[in-house]
Amino acid sequence: MKRIVSAVVLALGILFTAPGLVDAQVGYFGQNKVQYRTFKFQVMKTAHFDVYYYPEEENAARMAGRMAERWYARFSTLLKHELKNRQSLILYGSGSQFRQTNVVEGDLGEGTGGVTEAYKRRIVLPFAGPIRSTDHVLGHEIVHAFQYDITNTSASGAANGSAGALSLPLWFIEGMAEYLSLGPDDPHTAMWMRESVRREKLPDIDHLDNPRYFPYRYGEALWAYIGGRYGDDMVGPLLRAAIGREGYKGAFQRVLGVTVTEVMGIGDIAPSLFGECPHQQGMHFCGAGHVWVELIDPDTRAPMQIEAGAVGEMVYTTLTREAMPIVRFLGGDIVRIEGTSCECGRTSYRQRVLGRREERTTQRVDARFVRRNSLSHQTNLT
C-alpha cells in the first residue's frame, strides 16, 4: 500500500495539473503569487494560435507555434472539430517563471507541467526542458482545449448546470489527453498496468474514480484499449456522448455497441462469485452450494436480511473447500441488494457494489453511503 501511495505522488510530480484541480488549488486568501520580474509579452500568430512569448524567447516561440499547429492538424482530424476561436498559447522561458504566472489562479506546484483554463481557454506552459516532453505537454494541453470546445465548457454553462468536460471523471479527461498526446504504446503506463495486473489490483471502470488509481495512467490505458479495439475515431463521439444524460457508461454502450456488465470475485474466496446477466440489473450471486454469504451492518456487524434494498457488507464462508477453508471472511465491499428475481430466470439474489468499507464517511443517512472521494463534487452513491 505504501508503495502505491508514494508512486502516485511521484507520478503527480512529473505530470500536469488537471483542469478540475486548478480550481481546487486555492492559495491563501488575499495573497498573490510572488512575481520576481515583469514579463513583456509579444504575440506571434500562426494559423490557429496566438503565441505569447517574451522577446528573448522568439526562436522557442516559433518552434512552439509549429509544434502546436502539428497537434492541431492531428486533433482536428481525429476529433472532427475545429476550435471555434483562436487559441492562446502563453509561453514561459522556465518552470520557475511559469509558476509566477498570473494567468491562472492558485499555486502551480513543481509537478504542474502545463495548464489549460476551462473557461478562458488559455494554455499556459513553460517552454523549457527536453523538447520531447515539452511537445507532449503541449499536445496534452491542446487536447484539453479541444475537449472544452467540443463540450461547450463555459462559465455561463456551468452557472446553468452544464459543466461540460468538467463534469466528466478525471480518468476520462486526463486519460484521453494522455492517450492522444502519447499514443498507444507508453512504457510508463505499461509499467503501471503490468504491476497492477501482477498485484491483481486492476480496477473495473466503475472504480476508476477512486484516487488510488492515478487517473492519467489508468485512464490512458483504458483509452488505448478503446482506440486499439474500436478505432481512434470513436474518441470524439464518446466525448460528445458522455457529457449527455447517459453519462460515460451509456456512451460506451451506445457508441461502441457493447453491453457493460459487471463481474466480481474475491481473491481469498473464489475468483468469480458474482456476475451480471444481459438484463444489467446487478450481479447475480453464482456461488450457491460452494460459498455461504451473509449480509451484516458494517458498523455494528449485526446480521441483516438479504432482501431488496438492504445495504450492508458481505461476509463469506467457504463450504466445499477442504485444504484452506475460510470462515466468515469480511470482504470489505458495501453492497446493495437489488432483488431476488430476474427476467433471465435466475433466482439467486442480485447486488451492486457501492464502494469499499474504508471509503465510507462516518455519515450514514437512510442507508446511503457517501464515498469520501466523491464528497468534493457531491455525488452520492445511493
Which residues contribute to the site for Zn ion (CB under 5 A)? Answer: 16, 174, 177, 277, 279, 342, 344, 346
> What span, in angstroms and rounded, lies between the C-alpha atoms of 158 and 117?
14
In the beta sheet, which residues pair with residue 315? 294, 330
> Which residue type does 198 have?
R
- C-alpha 182, offset from chain centre: 17
* DSSP helix/strand/coil, 126: strand
Q: For residue 45, what are the β-bridge partners? A: 50
Q: What share of the chain is helix, strand, coil (3-state, %, to 5)?
A: 40, 20, 40
The least CB distance from residue 73 to Zn ion, in Å, is 20
Least Å distance between CB 146 and Zn ion?
12
Q: How far is the CB of 342 from Zn ion (least distance, A)?
A: 3
- What HEC string does 311-322 produce? EEEEEEEECCCC
Identify which of residues 70 and 346 has a Cβ nearer to Zn ion in the complex.
346
Give 257 or 278: the residue with its C-beta nearer to Zn ion.
278
Q: For Zn ion, which is the closer residue by CB, 92 or 369?
A: 92
Residues with Cβ within 8 Å of residue 118, at least 6 apart in sequence: 19, 22, 148, 153, 164, 165, 166
- CB-wise, 48 or 140, nearer to Zn ion? 140
Residue with Cβ nearer Zn ion (150 or 370): 150
**Closest approach of Cβ 28 to Zn ion, in Å?**
25
Query: CA 155, CA 210: separation in Å to the nearest integer?
Result: 27
Q: How far is CA 380 from CA 109, 217, 225, in A?
A: 30, 25, 29
Nearer to Zn ion, 202 or 277 (CB): 277
For Zn ion, the closer of residues 18 and 370 by Cβ is 18
Closest separation between CB of residue 380 and Zn ion, Å? 26
- Work out how close the CB of 315 gets to Zn ion at its nearest, in angstroms, rounded to a whole number: 24
CB of 277 to Zn ion, least distance (A): 3
Name the strand (E) or helix (H) holding 42: strand 42-45
Q: To 10 degrees, the CA torsion angle through 331, 334, 340, 342?
A: -100
Distance, in Å, from the CA atom of 215 to the CA atom of 222, rounded to the nearest integer, reads 10
